[in-house]
Amino acid sequence: MFIILFGAPGVGKGTQAKILSDRLGIPHISTGDILREAAANKTELGLKAKAIMNAGELVSDEIMVGIIKDTLSQDRCKNGFILDGFPRTLAQAEVLDKMFTELKINNINVLALSAEDDEIIKRLTNRRACKECNQIFTSQEIEGLTNCPRCNAENSFYLRKDDNEDVIRRRLAIFHSSTKPVLDYFINKRKVFIINGLQHIDEVTEDIVEKLKVS
């Protein structure tokens, strides 16, 4: 099953992608994770991407398209994937459609998670990342914990620069102006399912699964 997960930053895409990846047995392709890994490795691409992300800006289409095409061409993606964080512009959406044709990928399901901006700001300023493994956690996932549940690092949680409120508001402004029109593009070309992202995590997952059953 081929899935594009769409929604504003902080709406819960990453959390749902990881859950669905386990349930459906298909890889979670997160552009954010790929870019952060490159930044942690201090590659030329990673350092450029890190500066862009810390400023709340979008990484260039040229960088993102190259990363996505290489990733979707891998054997692990031949039976399905969950694409999280791409496309973010109409130009990227158009390139992605051509890419799907080249890779002979059909029957794409678009899952659009929705939430109000105020709730998104609250979520992002409350989530934390691990300094050791770079995993990002919601406040629900690490409530009462001092050690990272992924790598067990002690007292490693911190607030990322791109989860600062000023940066978040800038990211949301970019989303509404540049990324939200992508949803209209998909509605005219793909199967699109709108999901209420303000529900409890488990409820969002079940809502998605039910909709995918009839796709």
Q: Cite the active site residues.
A: 13, 88, 127, 160, 171
Residue whose C-alpha is closest to residue 205's, from 20, 81, 21: 20
DSSP assignment, residue 175?
I
Task: Describe the chain by its helix, strand, coil percentages, rounded to 5.
Answer: 50, 15, 35
Residues 177, 182, 185: CA angle, nearest 5 degrees: 130
C-alpha 6: how far from chain center: 8
Contact between residue 197 and residue 116 where contact means Cβ atoms under 8 Å apart: no
C-alpha–C-alpha distance, residues 97 and 72, integer Å: 13
Q: Write the burial class of residue 24 (CB in 10 Å: 0-12 exposed, 13-18 middle, 19+ buried).
A: middle
Q: Is 22 helix (H, G, I), strand (E, B) or coil?
A: helix
